Amino acid sequence: MVHDPSPDDMGAWFSREITPRVPHDALHLIGMNPVTGTVSFGFWHRYEREFARAEMLNCYLGDDPFRPTELARRPVPVAMLRADAGEDGADGGLRAREILKEHGMGCELRLALRDAHGVWGTLCLFREEGCPVFQPEEADRLRQLTPTLTAALRGYVRAGPWLPAGPPPPPGVILIGGDHTVRAVTAEARAWLRALPSEWLSSPEWAAAMLASEVAASPPEAPGPQPMICVPAAHAGRWVALQGQPLSGAGEVAVVVQAASGDVLLPIFAAWYGLTPRERGVVALLRTGRAPKQIAHRLGLSPYTVNDHLKSIFRKTRTSGRDELIAVLGG
């Protein structure tokens, strides 16, 4: 893998790794929030902007039969789509097939990157019209690459502590109507979106489609946080959160765009960096200003055990110590 890779570099690297096993003409790798399952960032290779936009909007507002969260729940998290037929000839996904045809693609192969610790992303491969369609044996070969691809995806996110340069800008808001269209975008929200490297992720329309549809699908009485995109620092310079909140009346949704920090960031950060539940608990107490002896007393551990946990935390997160770790997590 290249040093300090850009999204384009990562897309090209994934394509080179996969091509000997499964030849393809274009690639899109979607990185997901391992806590909420929402799409959070992506890499691409020979994947045109308008094609990407059409696919992503259809995924959340259209009839796409293989949304990332649904694909990840399959016993075998792989799917194939042909432009001239549904999966195995079945009816369904008409708009998804039309999009493939409109952009000169004959078929698509998708794989959810899932392991015992979570779902980390969705890989989409495409072949142009006139090329042989993807076959089940190719899907099997792609599945065998899951550990390698997942390790590379997590390695990209964990490449460094990614200390932010200066205080974050103020939060911004995107107002979305009940018809999933953007009604208003504050200047602060536009500034946040412009800082994201992905053209499809930086589009208010895409954020509207994804988060509004996820909020609409969530039961009103559902406990816990609302659906959230969390873009890692490796992709955006600092951890960025886009969180959808339902407003009163007619299905309107407000998307708040701001620096991800504190209680919002900690579970996501811990998942990407592979912190154990005990290590996550130590970090949570560390953020409150407690000294190692106080943490030990609170958790019923010896100070030596807490220090061992801290060494493991600093090693996994590539931080130099307490101050740097707290700064990465937003204080």
Detail the DSSP E strand segments found in the chain.
Answer: 26-32, 39-45, 78-82, 105-115, 118-128, 172-176, 182-185, 228-231, 240-246, 253-259
Interval 263-318: pLDDT, tens: 889 999 999 999 999 999 999 999 999 999 999 999 999 999 999 999 999 999 99
Q: What is the pLDDT of residue 56?
A: 75
The DSSP secondary structure of 259-316, one letter per residue, reads E--HHHHHHHHHHHHT--HHHHHHHHHHHTT--HHHHHHHHT--HHHHHHHHHHHHHH
Across 162-182, b (16+ Cβ under 10 Å) vs e yields beeeeeeeeebebbbbeebeb
pLDDT score recorded for residue 331: 59
Distance, CA of 275 to CA of 92 (rounded, Å): 41
Backbone phi, psi, residue 128, to 5°:
-70, 160
Tell me how far apart the alpha carbons of residues 247 and 65 are, in angstroms, rounded to a whole number: 28
pLDDT score at 200: 60
**SS3 call for 82:** strand
Per-residue pLDDT of the chain (331 residues; tens, 9 = 90+): 555 677 788 899 999 999 999 999 999 998 998 888 888 888 889 988 778 778 877 776 677 878 888 898 999 999 999 998 755 444 457 888 899 999 999 999 999 999 988 999 999 999 999 999 999 999 999 999 999 999 999 999 998 767 777 788 899 999 988 887 889 999 999 988 888 876 666 677 777 777 777 776 666 555 555 678 888 988 888 899 988 888 876 778 888 999 998 888 999 999 999 999 999 999 999 999 999 999 999 999 999 999 999 999 999 999 999 999 998 898 5
Phi, psi of 138 (to 5 degrees): -70, -35
Tokens for 266, please give them: 């900690």
259 near 241, Cβ under 8 Å?
Answer: yes
- Yes or no: say if 119 and 32 are a contact pair by the CB < 8 Å rule: yes
Paired sense of beta strands 118-128 and 26-32, if any: antiparallel
CB environment 301-310: b (16+ within 10 A), e (fewer): beeebbbebb
260 contacts 240 by C-beta, under 8 angstroms? yes
Per-residue pLDDT, 49: 75
Q: What is the dihedral of CA 43, 49, 55, 57, to 10 degrees?
A: 100
d(CA 196, CA 8) in angstroms, rounded, equals 13
Could you count the other beta carbons within 10 Å of the beta carbon of residue 135?
13
Amino acid at 196: L
230: Cβ contacts below 8 Å, ≥ 6 apart: 33, 35, 36, 38, 40, 239, 240, 241, 242, 260, 264, 265, 268
Q: What is the pLDDT of residue 121?
A: 94
| pLDDT tens profile 106-148 | 999 999 999 988 999 999 999 999 999 999 999 999 999 999 9
Q: What is the pLDDT of residue 38?
A: 83
